[in-house]
Chain A
Amino acid sequence: MNYLWAFLVGGALCLAGQLLIDLTPLTPARILTGYVAAGVVLSAVGLYGPLADWAGAGASVPLLGFGHLLAKGVQQAVDEQGLVGAFTGGLTAAAGGVAASLVFAILAALLGRSKDQN
């Protein structure tokens, strides 16, 4: 059952992004940035947590989930360390994904060759 919700929720979040691409002049970089910031806000007001419990990777894989991860991390760090947690919590929680993106990108650059984009 959870698999179905992962598919439906993940698909719906992507469909919303497609509507932004087709119907607004927003560029992909702005959409990605907006999704992450929106994820932080949705998590902060308490909406994204229940969605993530319910849809699993359907909520955590889209970039909104990255924002949720940042917000959750900050919250946990503030609970444990006080105000300094506002600085440390977000990137600590996101470290795995960010480091993986950078490391694998450099490895990809070692292996790949740039070709003309069509």
Chain B
Amino acid sequence: MKLDPQSYARMVRRAAPPSALGRDCAWAFAVGGCICLLGEAMRRAYALRFAPDLAGTLTSITLIGLAAAATVPGWYQKLAARAGAGTLVPSTGFANSVASAAIEFKAEGWVTGVGAHIFQIAGPVIAYGTLASWVWGLLYWAMSRGG
């Protein structure tokens, strides 16, 4: 039987379990929500002692530290296999991607291995985030001058 890519994709879609999307979404929602809930609890605890901005920074540093720690024994990856975007989209997912690249490329040395590959995912995120914020800074500057 001859198959073109479109009809093959249709067959795969029909053969796949129908609830996969719903299950993925439920996991992503629940796990992502829980990570944010944990962040909110930390933010409030820090806010008792520190200014709001500092409390936010401390929260993200703590979450990032926890995610990196959970990456070492592979727990974060195990959760991610289930939770998908629920573990990817929070800043803990960013931390996990940086930490797992660092661990992965340790064998290639500390400079060209760890040092270079640490930016595999962090690089694009930081680069385009910075570019977007620079464009906004320019616009904001022009708007605040021109009125």
Contact = CB atoms under 8 A, between A and B. Distances in A.
B132 A37 contact: yes
A7 to B, nearest CB: 4
Interface string A72-93: 0111011100110111011100
B48 interface: no
B29 to A, nearest CB: 4
A57 B65 CA distance: 16
Given A33-B128, A56-B40, A57-B39, A18 B84 contact: yes
Interface string B119-143: 0111011101110111011111100
A63 B125 contact: yes
A60 B60 contact: yes
B3 interface: no
Contacts of A111: 72
Interface of A: 2-3, 6-23, 28-29, 31-33, 35-37, 39-41, 43-44, 56-58, 60-63, 65-67, 69-71, 73-75, 77-79, 82-83, 85-87, 89-91, 94, 96-98, 100-102, 104-109, 111-115, 117
